[in-house]
Amino acid sequence: MARHFIGIDVGTGSARAGIFDRDGAMVAKAKRDIALFRDEPDIAEQSSGDIWRAVCASVREALATGGLQADDIAGIGFDATCSLVVLGAGGAPLPVGTSGDPERNIIVWMDHRALGQAQRINRTGHSVLGYVGGTISPEMETPKLLWLKENLPETYGSAWQFLDLADFLTWRATGSLARSVCTVTCKWTYLAHERRWDAGYFREIGLGDLADDGFSRIGTEIVDPGQPLGAGLTAEAARELGLNPGTPVAAGLIDAHAGGVGSVGGQGGDGSVLTRMAYVFGTSACTMMSSTDPLFIPGVWGPYYSAMVPGLWLSEGGQSAAGAAIDHLIALHPASQEAAAKAGAARQSPPEWLADEAVKASTSLSDAAHLAGHLHVVPDFLGNRAPFANPHARGVIAGLGMERDLRSLVSLYVAGLLGLGYGLRQIVAASRKRGAAIDAIALSGGAGEHPLVRQLIADATGIPVLASRESDPVLLGSAMLGAVASGACGSLQEAMARMSASGDCYRPATGDAADLHERRFRAFGALQKTAFSL
């Protein structure tokens, strides 16, 4: 009897497959890198063909590593970044940039080419914007669609389908064009609580043609995450993945939302899922919070109905650069190459190695905050996603001296982590002001695995941080979708309760250590305000 589920996660830099048993324990996983094209600072493109090949290779390797066969797999779930995939007739890729290369048919989530279009949309003040925190982001899909229409009319006009990346993957696997409520509600302005697109919005912003054809190019069948699609895997997809035709495939999730599902569940059905904010810390960082009633929080995306957990409203915030901000900080320092060499010798990433060095230089995890010294970092290098919804914001580094050694790099690294924590603290405060009950942060994501990171986030926010029992809750969240699609779990809530659980709890510092963070938080706000005014 098939007793395992595959979760497939497509992030910014890689595609990964994880295989889990019915209790949520990981059996095997594998990863393949994917290409990212950055011709200009605001441009980021990928290839759907490259991504699908990486997905297939990852699944095959995970099966081999786990010693499993196709008959062992009961269901499959996908998650992916909220990137825009453009397909022409017959599903052929179409170019989305000036390269003219049709293989580069994805505008990646972090691409900010549509900044002007987003500003024009926001000036309309349309009521739909009330469900994206009042301000649409250039990371979302309607500004990108408008950019395509205005700058690449041939691509736009000949496109057969525009899909979020997670929906592309489920289409490629099953042939079903059904879209997930998660993707179209969070990134395309679908009004899930009313089960409709707002045709007036599309006409007002200049995309009336999408409404005129009944929204057939962006989705006419919208389903809840976890719902089985089509007849399962097609024969072609099954052959490529090394699985059986007909294996159930679930409607997917955005990657951060899969991390939310995989990390905030397992609380025993006592309703506590509603009081934990998920913080998915990867290249970017997303915050997600469920509520029984809609919460309208300025600068925080949503409220989105059923976008993560069916039947609950979702409020989504985050930081456009998180892990990427730390990488950028490290690269700026004169000792970055020396640190990279030492990290490589230890078979670690530079942030991991720096975290270990910070721990060695401290009497406790909380004590490491003192290493930041006079350094202060506002890590808004790609703008401020929440709670200020300011894509023009930029990073600030204050307190730099002439130091060039590894010790000063450790200090900069710690200051960067604290800056991310203080930004998260602002999101929590904005959410609480509008009635959100948040008693803990459920942290997941590759950039948040080190104990130092978890403790400093707890200290900077003043809120306990819960680590998931499973080391990779994003993959687990996708596997839960597969469990629901297969019928092994009757609902996503049941899968969350059965397959996930909290692990270690990192409690915030008290006394003098807490006072240090109060002072640094005030300095953070002052620097940020100064940068906003320039």
DSSP for 70-137, please give it.
Answer: GGGEEEEEEEE-S-EEEE-GGG-B---STT--TT--EE-TT--TTHHHHHHHHHH--GGGGGGTTS--
Report d(CA 297, CA 303) in Å as an integer.
8
Helix (H, G, I), strand (E, B) or coil at 446: helix
Would you state the structure tokens that stand for residue 61, as one six-digit string?
């390797």
Query: Within this chain, do residues 328 and 339 fall inside the same structural domain, yes or no?
Result: yes
The residue to which tokens 């078979």 are assigned: 347
Residue 506 near residue 465 (C-beta atoms within 8 A)? yes
What mean pLDDT is reported for the chain? Answer: 95
pLDDT for 265 = 65
| Burial class of residue 490 in the structure, from the number of CB atoms within 10 Å of its CB (0-12 exposed, 13-18 middle, 19+ buried) | exposed
Name the amino acid, one letter, at 436: A
Residue 413: how many other CB atoms lie within 10 Å:
28
Percentage of residues of the chain with pLDDT beyond 70 = 98
Residues written for the chain: 534
Give strand pairing partners of 79: 9, 253
Query: Within this chain, do residues 414 and 402 fall inside the same structural domain, yes or no?
Result: yes
Question: What CATH number has the domain bearing residue 413?
Answer: 1.20.58.2240
Q: How many domains does the chain have?
A: 2
Query: Within this chain, do residues 170 and 60 fall inside the same structural domain, yes or no?
Result: yes
Report d(CA 290, CA 431) in Å as an integer.
11
| Torsion, Cα of 266, 271, 274, 277 (10° steps) | -30
Residue 144 has pLDDT above 50, yes or no: yes
Report d(CA 221, CA 204) in Å as an integer.
23
Query: Within this chain, do residues 253 and 393 fall inside the same structural domain, yes or no?
Result: no
Closest C-alpha to 78, from 432, 481, 463, 453: 481
pTM of the model: 0.88
pLDDT per residue over 207-239, tens digit each?
999 999 999 999 999 999 999 999 999 999 999
Please give the DSSP secondary-structure letter assigned to residue 383. Answer: B
Listed range (66-75, 196-205, 267-276) with the worst mean pLDDT: 267-276
pLDDT for 534 = 79
Query: Within this chain, do residues 516 and 495 fall inside the same structural domain, yes or no?
Result: no
Give the range of the structural domain holding residue 294, as residue numbers without chain letter.
Answer: 1-263+272-321+433-507
Question: What CATH number has the domain bearing residue 223?
Answer: 3.30.420.40
Name the amino acid, one letter, at 287: T
Query: Within this chain, do residues 305 and 353 fall inside the same structural domain, yes or no?
Result: no
Query: Within this chain, do residues 413 and 453 fall inside the same structural domain, yes or no?
Result: no
Percentage of residues of the chain with pLDDT beyond 90 = 89
Query: Within this chain, do residues 503 and 423 fall inside the same structural domain, yes or no?
Result: no
Query: Within this chain, do residues 408 and 443 fall inside the same structural domain, yes or no?
Result: no
Query: Within this chain, do residues 339 and 416 fall inside the same structural domain, yes or no?
Result: yes
Q: At what angle do helices 406-433 and 511-533 cross, to 10 degrees?
A: 80
Query: Within this chain, do residues 278 and 339 fall inside the same structural domain, yes or no?
Result: no
H/E stretch holding 258: helix 255-264
Distance of CA 439 to the CA centre of its chain: 22
The better pLDDT of the pair 186, 503 is held by 186
Q: How much of the chain is in helix, strand and coil states, percent to nearest 5?
A: 45, 20, 35
Closest C-alpha to 368, from 354, 388, 349, 380: 354
Q: DSSP of 457-507, one letter per residue? A: HHHHHTS-EEEESSS-HHHHHHHHHHHHHHTSSSSHHHHHHHH--EEEEEP
